[in-house]
Structure 1
Amino acid sequence: MDTNAFRHTLTAFRAPRPGAAPSNTVHRSLAQRQRAAVSQPWLIGASLAGLMIAAPALAQGEAALPTISVSGSQYDADDVRPEGVTTATKTYMAPKDIPQTIDTLEVNKYKSYGINDLATMLDGVPGVNTNYDMRGEGVLIRGFSADSGDIYRDGIRESGQVRRSTANVERIEILKGPGSVLYGRGGGGGIINLVSKQARFDAKSSVTLRGGSWDNYGGTIDINKVVNPHVAVRLTADREQAHSFRSGIRNKNEMISPSILVDTRTGLRWAGQYTYDNVWRVPDRGPVYGELPASVSTHQGFAHPDDYVQDRLRVLRSDLSYDFNPAWSLRWLASKREASQDFDHVFGGTYCNTAGRTATGAACNYRGQLRQNYAWQATNNKTTTHTLDLTGRVDVAGMRHELLMGLEHSSEERQPQVYGTVPFGATINPHNPVWPAKPAQRPAATQNNLHEATSRALYVQDLIHLAPQWKLLVGARYDSYDFDTLNRLTNARRAASGDSVSPRAGLVWQPTAQHSIYTSYSKSYSPYGGRGMLGVSGAQDDEPRYSRQMEAGVKSDWLAGALSTQLAVYDLEHYNIRYQPDAVNFPNDWAVRGKERSRGVELSAAGRLAAAWYVRGGAGVMSAKVVEDRSAPANVGKYLINTALRNGNIFVRYAPQGHWYAELGVTHTSARWINAANTQRLPGYTRWDALVGWRTAPWTVTLALSNLLDKEYWRSTSMPGAPRSVLLSANYQF
C-alpha cells in the first residue's frame, strides 16, 4: 500500500539529487551524513532503553553499516529513487558515486500486492533469480546463491536457516557482486540489505488494514513519537494470517519492534532496537514440476494435516556514535541475534504411473500413487558482533580523502538437530490424498551437531577525489577466522582456521553532472566453514572458495534529473571450488573441483517519465555456466541451475493531479535448467499485475490485482505461481 503518499519530506536529512547539482557537491559534511545515518538507526523501545544502556555489549551479526531511512524523492511519493544508499560503502553516498551496481526497492510499493515474502518481492530484479525454498529464501544474485550468508538487516548479517518476514522493512538495497571488502565471508553474487522502520524525528504514525483472496487479512500499527527535541521512540507491530490457493496450506505471522533514538545535538547519538518476528506456517513443499500427471491440479496441496514450520527471530541492537568535529566521527555497533527454525513435515515424493514407472523411468510397484518423504529439523543460531568504525575527511595535495577504518569481532553458534530424509511409508492418491497418522513421537535425530565460528577483521576504505570529475574508491579487508564442529552423536570433532584478504578498487568519471562512467574490480572469499559448517553438514575444508568480478557501467540522470538509469556489464567468476573425491574412504581429503562464471548485462530505470507518469524496474541478460568441473567433466559448458538467461520487470504508474492513480506492471523470467546436466528445464513465465489507488490526506486506499491474466506458471520446481488474487488495503496516517 502507498503509505508514502503523504509522507513528510525528509529535506533536512537528504543530499541533493544527483543531476540537480554537480556530483561533487552532493557530499555533505561527515557530521550531516552521520546524523542522516541515525535518522532511522538501530533503535530499541523505550521499555528497553535501560537494558541497552546498561548492556550495550550484547551483540549480533557480522559487518554492520549505517542505514538511512530515506524514501521517496524531492519530487513526490510516486518517485521511488533514494537520495543515498549505505550498503555499498558503509557510508551514506549518492548512487552515482558508487562504482558498482546497486538496486533499491521501496517495500510499500510491493506490499500493495500483498507480498510479504522476500524472495517473491525480489522476483524480476535484473540478475536476481528466486527459487522457492521451504527452509530459506532461495535467492541467487548473478547466478550464485545469496541464502547462506549474504542477507543483512540494517547492515547486520542475517545468519541461520530461517525465513524472514518483511513486515518491518522499509527499503531493500541489493548490491551486485562481491562485498567481502566490508562484510567478510560471502557467496560473491551480491548482498541484500533490509532497511528497517526505526524511530526518527520526522516520521509520521500510521495504521493499516488489509484483506483479500484466500482469507488473507492483517494489520499494521506504526507509532512514531517525538518525546522531546532529543528523544524519539517508535513502535511497529504487524499481524497477518492467510490461506493459500493450495489446499491445506496457510500461515500466521506476527512482528513487534520497539525502538528509540537519542540525540544530544552535541555530536553524541545513541539508538537501539529490539525486533521479535515469528512466522508459523504449514509448509508448501509438494512434488516437483513434471512429477505428477497433468490431471492433478496445481491447487492441490500435499502437506500432512500435522505438518508445520516455525521461524523465530529475536534481535537486539545498540548503535552509539560521536562526532569529534565536522570531519571525524567514531561509531560502535553492538548486536545480538537469535534465530531458530523448527519443522516437521512430509514433502516431495515419487509418483508411480499406470505403467509402473516413475518420472525418471525407474520401475515401481505402487501404480497411481505418490510416495512422499519425511524429515524433521530443529535448528538454533546465535550470533554476536561488535564493530568499531572511524570515519573522517582529510585534504592532501589538493585531493579530498573520505576515509573509513574499521574493526570487527563476531562469533556464531549453531545447533542443528535433524532426522534425515526417509520415505514416509504409506502411499497416497495425489488426486484425493488421505494421509496416515504420524508417529506419536518424533524419531531420534540422525544428526546432532554443534558448530562454532569466530572471526576477526580489519578493514579500510578511501574515496579519493582525484579531480572535480574523477573519483577513486579503494579498499581492503583482512579476515582471520576459526571454525569448530562437534558431532554430538559420535563425539567426533573437526576444526579449521584461516585468513583472507579481500580487495576492491573502482574508478568513477563524471564528465557532466548528469552522467557517471565507472569501472571496478572486487574479490570475496567463502571458507567452507562459512558455508557447510554453519549448515547441517559437519564436513569442512581449510581452503576457501573465491569470487572476483570486473564490472563497468554508466549511471545517468535524464529529463532534468527526473529519470535515473544504470547500465552495467560484468564478468563474475567463482574459483577454487572444493569437493571431496572420496568422502566415504577419505573424508578429510579435498581437491579443487574447478570454477564457474557468470557474464551479463543489466539495465534499470526509475523516476518520472513525463507529467504524472512514473516508472520503476529493469531487465537483465545473463549467461552463468560451468567453466571447469573435475568431479563431473560432462557438466563443463552447462548452465548453472535455476539461472535464467533473461529476467526483469517494469511497473508504470499514472498519478495525475487529484485523488486517483493506477499502476500496471509486468514481470518476466525465462526458462531455467533444474539439473546440472541441463536435461530438465522449468518453463519461463510472464506475469502481469495492476492496481488502482485513491488518496486524500490522511487516507490512502489501494485495490491490487496480482497475476491479472490468471496465468498458470511455476515459480520454482516445487512451487506453482499463485492464480489471480486481489488485495484491498487502507492506510490512515497521523
Structure 2
Amino acid sequence: MYSCPVPDRPRAAVLALAIAALYPQAAQAQAQAEPAPAPAEAAELPSITVVGRSASGAYHADEAQGAKTELPLRELPQSVRVITRQAIDDLGATRLDDVLDYVGGVSRQNSFGGLWDNFAIRGLQGDPNTGMATLLNGFAANRGFNAPRDLAGVDRIEFLKGPAAALYGSSEPGGTLNIVSKRPLWKAAHSVEGYLGSHGLRRGALDSTGPLSENLAYRLNVAVEERDSFRDHVHAERQVLAPALTWRLGADTRLDYRGEFLRHATPLDRGVVAVNGRLGAIPRSRFLGEPADGDVVVRNQSHQLVLSQGWGEAWSSRVGLSWRETALRGFSTEPDLALQPDGRTLWRQRRYRDYGSEDIALQAELQGKFSMGGFQQELLVGVEGYRYRMDTLMLRAGPSASYAIDILAPAYGQPQPVPLPRTDTREVQHNAALYVQDVVHLAPQWRLLAGLRVDDLRQSLTNNRSGAVTRQTPSATTPRVGLSWLPSAQWTLYANAGRSFRPNAGSDATGAAFEPERGRALELGAKWESADQRLGATVALFDIRKRNVLVTDPLNAGFSVAAGEVRSRGLEGDLAGQLGTHWRVNASLVLNDAQVVGGSRLLNVPRVNGSVLAVYEDQTGSGQRWGLGGGVTHVGDRLGESGSSFELPAYTTAKLVGYWRLTPTVRLSLDVDNLFDRTYYASSFYETWVTPGTARSVTVGLQAKF
C-alpha cells in the first residue's frame, strides 16, 4: 500500500500559499487565460476555456471515448449520456455522487456507509460489495474498494447505457460508466479554486497544464478537502493528486500517462432507522455508530500507460497497461438488522476491516477504416488480459444487548467489544479475452454495428482460516448487434440487442464462490440533434433480464446467495444542450419497472425519476459575464429492504447555481443544494440502514486563472 504525499490535515490556506509560491510569475501568463468577453451585442456568449471551471457552454456531446468508434453519437445505435465538464461545473459537483440525479435511469444504492459510490443504471446495480461497472479511460476501475470518486481531474463522464460486455467483458446489462481524465495541453494554463460552505466545508484545488519541452506536456490536478456534516459525529477529509503526461515520440506516435492518488477518511455511517416501518422517528442528524471508532480510511492509486501509433490515414493501434491498488482499513459500529420490541433499543455490532486489492490489466487494439464489397467499414480488434487479487479480512463482534443504543436518547462511550476473526479470504481472478467490433455503412442512411467478445476467466477463492480453496473457470461469449436508420440530417431511429457477463466476487456462507451473472438486453430508440449540433435528445425503450444475481441469504445474516433473476423494462428520455444564445438545459425523465422475477421490486429503484437543470447566461455592458440557474430532481418511492414491504418515500429537491465573473480571470460562484431543506432518504439496505439525504448546504467559491 502507499502513503499519500498530501498531509493528513490539509488546509485550503496552506494550498493557496503553496500555489502562490509555485506561480510567482502568474501575471505574465494571463495571455494564456480565457479572453475577455465580447460586447453584449455579440452573437455568441460562450468561449473556450481549458482549466478551472468551464465556460464553453457545451452540455451536448457528439462523441464518447468509451464507445470505441468514430461514429457520431447521433448515428450510434445505443443510448449514451455524456455529462460534460460544463455540466459538472454548473452543478458545482466535486464528487461523482453530485451528478447522478441528473442522468436518466440512474438510481442510488447502498454506499457502504459513505465509503464508496454505488448506483444502478436502468435498475440494475453492480456488485453490492464493490459497486457499479465503472471504467477509467477505458480500463476497469471498480474492481477492489474504491473511495467516492473526486472530479478534480475528470474531463467528462460517459454513461454508456445498455450492455457493453462485447467491448469490456465483465459489466452490467443496464449500462457502464466511463470516466475520462483531463488531458495535458500544449499551451500553458493554470487555475486555483477555493471553496467554503455549510457544515464546515473547506476545499482547495489546483489545475495546471502546459508543455515541459517541445515534445512533452503535463497536467497536474490537486484537491484537498475537509468537511463536517449535517450528521452528528461525522466528518470527512480527502486528498487527491492526479498527474498526467503526454510524450510525442514521433509524428504518429504518442505515449500517455494518467495517474491518480486518493485518500479518503470518514467514519462508516449506516444512517438512521425506521420504527415500525416508518421514518422520521429520529432526526436525520442522529448518528447510531460509536464516535470512538474513528475513521475508516480508503486509499486508492491508479497508473495508466498507453502507447498510440498511427499507421497512415486509415489505421491506428493502441497498447495500454493499467495498474491499480486499493485499500480499506478501520473499525466501525453498525446497527443490528432490526430494532428490539420496545421500538427504541437497537443492538449494535462492531467490526474491523482490512481490505486490499491489486489489479493489473493489459490491452492491445488495432483499429482502421477500409472498404469491402462496396461498404465502408470501421474495424476494431482487441485483446485484453488482467490479474486481480482481493484480500478480505474482517473481525466481528456480533450484535448484543451490552452494546446497544437508545435511538431516542443515545449515549456514547460504552465499553467496546473486541471483534473476533470472521472472514479471511483471498480471491484471485485471471482473465484473457479477444474482442472484435465492426461498424458498416450499409447505405448513406444505414449503420450496422456488430461486436463479439470471448472471455476465459479463472477464479479461485482461498479461505485463509480453513485452508479450503474453491476454483471455477467460467467462460463467456458476449455478442452485441445494433442498427441505425438516419431518415434525415437530424433524426435517427435505432435498435440493439446484447448479452452481458460479470463474475460475482466473494463467497457464500459455506465459503463457495458465486456463479457469474449473465444477462441479455433489448433496446429500441430515437435520437434528435438540432441543425447547429448544440442540442440533442434521446428516447429509448429497454427490456433487460439478468440471472445469478446476488441476493440476501435468508438463512445466514450478512451473507448472500447467487440465486436471483431480475427483470428491468422501461422508457427513458434525455435532453441536453444549448437553447439559443443564453440558455443551456439538461433534462431527463424515466419510467422503470425493475423487479425480481416472480417477486418484489428491486431495491432502491424508483418507478419514476426525472430532473431538469437550466442555466441562463448574459453579460453586463462592461463585459462582466454572469449566470444564474437551478435544478429540480424528483425520485419516486422505492423498496427499502429486500423481501419486505418497507419503502422509502418519494422526494423532490431543488438547487440554485450562480456565478459572477469579476474580471476576465477571476470568478465568484454560489451553489445551494436542497434549497428548501427537504428531509428525504436517498437509499437504504435494511430498515436499520437508511441513508438520509443531505440537508441544505450553501457553498461559495472563488476561481482564478493565470
Q: CA deviation at 1:230?
A: 1.8
For residue 601 of structure 2, the aligned residue among 617, 639, 643 is 639
Relative to the length of structure 1, the TM-score reads 0.82
Asked if structure 2 preserves the Cα contact closer than 8 Å seen for 1:351 and 1:369, the reply is no
1:320-469 alignment runs, 5 A limit: 320-349=307-336, 356-358=341-343, 368-420=344-396, 422-423=398-399, 425-437=402-414, 439=416, 443-469=419-445
1:673-712 alignment runs, 5 A limit: 673-695=639-661, 696-712=663-679
Deviations 1:125-156 (A, max 9, x none): 21110024224322111111135460122221
2:291 equivalent to 1:315: no
Q: Does the C-alpha gap of structure 1 residues 299 and 594 become closer, same or farther in structure 2, counting only changes over 3 Å?
A: closer
**Residue equivalent to 2:573:** 603
Asked if structure 2 preserves the Cα contact closer than 8 Å seen for 1:132 and 1:715, the reply is no
Q: Does the C-alpha gap of structure 1 residues 302 and 595 become closer, same or farther in structure 2, counting only changes over 3 Å?
A: closer
Q: CA deviation at 1:370?
A: 3.1
Asked if structure 1 preserves the Cα contact closer than 8 Å seen for 2:163 and 2:521, the reply is yes
Query: What amino acid maps onto 2:220 in structure 1?
Result: L
Q: Does the C-alpha gap of structure 1 residues 352 and 583 become closer, same or farther in structure 2, counting only changes over 3 Å?
A: closer
Query: What amino acid maps onto 1:97 in structure 2?
Result: E
Q: Does the C-alpha gap of structure 1 residues 594 and 293 become closer, same or farther in structure 2, counting only changes over 3 Å?
A: closer
Q: Does the C-alpha gap of structure 1 residues 114 and 70 become closer, same or farther in structure 2, counting only changes over 3 Å?
A: closer
2:541 equivalent to 1:565: no
For residue 242 of structure 2, the aligned residue among 257, 270, 279 is 257
2:139 equivalent to 1:156: yes
2:555 equivalent to 1:575: no
Measured in 2, the distance between the counterparts of 1:332 and 1:70 equals 31
Asked if structure 2 preserves the Cα contact closer than 8 Å seen for 1:306 and 1:345, the reply is no
Query: What amino acid maps onto 1:241 in structure 2?
Result: E
Q: CA deviation at 1:7?
A: 7.8
Query: What amino acid maps onto 2:147 in structure 1?
Result: R
* Percent of paired sites with the same residue: 27
**Residue equivalent to 1:186:** 171
Q: Does the C-alpha gap of structure 1 residues 350 and 128 become closer, same or farther in structure 2, counting only changes over 3 Å?
A: closer
Asked if structure 1 preserves the Cα contact closer than 8 Å seen for 2:490 and 2:531, the reply is no
Q: Does the C-alpha gap of structure 1 residues 170 and 302 become closer, same or farther in structure 2, counting only changes over 3 Å?
A: farther
2:563 equivalent to 1:554: no
Asked if structure 1 preserves the Cα contact closer than 8 Å seen for 2:228 and 2:234, the reply is yes
Listed as ranges, the gaps of 5+ residues in structure 2 are 1-31, 36-49, 685-689
Query: What amino acid maps onto 1:275 in structure 2?
Result: E
Deviations 1:379-406 (A, max 9, x none): 1010001110001111112211101000
Q: CA deviation at 1:581?
A: 10
Asked if structure 1 preserves the Cα contact closer than 8 Å seen for 2:53 and 2:89, the reply is no
2:126 equivalent to 1:146: yes
**Residue equivalent to 1:475:** 451
Measured in 2, the distance between the counterparts of 1:594 and 1:211 equals 46
Secondary structure at 2:74 match in 1: helix
Q: Does the C-alpha gap of structure 1 residues 274 and 472 become closer, same or farther in structure 2, counting only changes over 3 Å?
A: same
2:471 equivalent to 1:495: yes
Which has the higher mean CA deviation after the structures are superposed, 342-351 or 217-226?
342-351
* Count of matched residue pairs: 639
Measured in 1, the distance between the counterparts of 2:576 and 2:371 equals 35
Measured in 2, the distance between the counterparts of 1:71 and 1:519 equals 37
Q: Does the C-alpha gap of structure 1 residues 395 and 379 become closer, same or farther in structure 2, counting only changes over 3 Å?
A: same
Measured in 2, the distance between the counterparts of 1:203 and 1:512 equals 42
For residue 302 of structure 1, the aligned residue among 288, 300, 305 is 288
Measured in 1, the distance between the counterparts of 2:363 and 2:509 equals 28
Q: CA deviation at 1:433?
A: 2.4
Q: Does the C-alpha gap of structure 1 residues 71 and 710 become closer, same or farther in structure 2, counting only changes over 3 Å?
A: closer
Q: CA deviation at 1:451?
A: 0.7
Measured in 1, the distance between the counterparts of 2:279 and 2:542 equals 41
Asked if structure 2 preserves the Cα contact closer than 8 Å seen for 1:112 and 1:729, the reply is no
For residue 83 of structure 1, the aligned residue among 52, 62, 85 is 62
Query: What amino acid maps onto 1:657 in structure 2?
Result: Q
Q: Does the C-alpha gap of structure 1 residues 578 and 131 become closer, same or farther in structure 2, counting only changes over 3 Å?
A: closer
Asked if structure 1 preserves the Cα contact closer than 8 Å seen for 2:528 and 2:537, the reply is yes
Query: What amino acid maps onto 2:540 in structure 1?
Result: A
Measured in 2, the distance between the counterparts of 1:107 and 1:421 equals 45
Measured in 1, the distance between the counterparts of 2:478 and 2:337 equals 45
Secondary structure at 1:214 match in 2: helix
2:233 equivalent to 1:274: no
Asked if structure 2 preserves the Cα contact closer than 8 Å seen for 1:392 and 1:404, the reply is yes
Relative to the length of structure 2, the TM-score reads 0.85
Asked if structure 2 preserves the Cα contact closer than 8 Å seen for 1:198 and 1:259, the reply is yes
**Residue equivalent to 1:25:** none
Q: CA deviation at 1:113?
A: 5.4
Secondary structure at 2:619 match in 1: coil
Deviations 1:77-121 (A, max 9, x none): 222222311212x24442112211111113564456554342342
For residue 729 of structure 1, the aligned residue among 696, 701, 704 is 701
**Residue equivalent to 1:14:** none
Secondary structure at 1:679 match in 2: coil
Secondary structure at 1:532 match in 2: coil
**Residue equivalent to 2:97:** 119
2:189 equivalent to 1:196: no
Q: CA deviation at 1:494?
A: 0.7
2:117 equivalent to 1:137: yes
For residue 102 of structure 1, the aligned residue among 76, 80, 94 is 80
Measured in 2, the distance between the counterparts of 1:708 and 1:582 equals 41
Query: What amino acid maps onto 2:283 in structure 1?
Result: S
Measured in 2, the distance between the counterparts of 1:536 and 1:312 equals 28
Deviations 1:12-62 (A, max 9, x none): xxxxxxxxxxxxxxxxxxxxxxxxxxxx9xxxxxxxxxxxxxxxxxxxxxx
1:24-103 alignment runs, 5 A limit: 77-88=56-67, 90-103=68-81
Secondary structure at 1:82 match in 2: coil
Asked if structure 2 preserves the Cα contact closer than 8 Å seen for 1:146 and 1:190, the reply is no
**Residue equivalent to 1:53:** none
Asked if structure 1 preserves the Cα contact closer than 8 Å seen for 2:147 and 2:298, the reply is yes
Secondary structure at 1:326 match in 2: coil
Measured in 1, the distance between the counterparts of 2:238 and 2:297 equals 10
Listed as ranges, the gaps of 5+ residues in structure 1 are 1-5, 10-39, 41-68, 359-367, 628-635
Q: Does the C-alpha gap of structure 1 residues 404 and 130 become closer, same or farther in structure 2, counting only changes over 3 Å?
A: same
Q: Does the C-alpha gap of structure 1 residues 8 and 468 become closer, same or farther in structure 2, counting only changes over 3 Å?
A: farther
**Residue equivalent to 2:29:** none
Which has the higher mean CA deviation after the structures are superposed, 192-201 or 333-342?
192-201
Query: What amino acid maps onto 1:600 in structure 2?
Result: G
Asked if structure 1 preserves the Cα contact closer than 8 Å seen for 2:105 and 2:121, the reply is yes
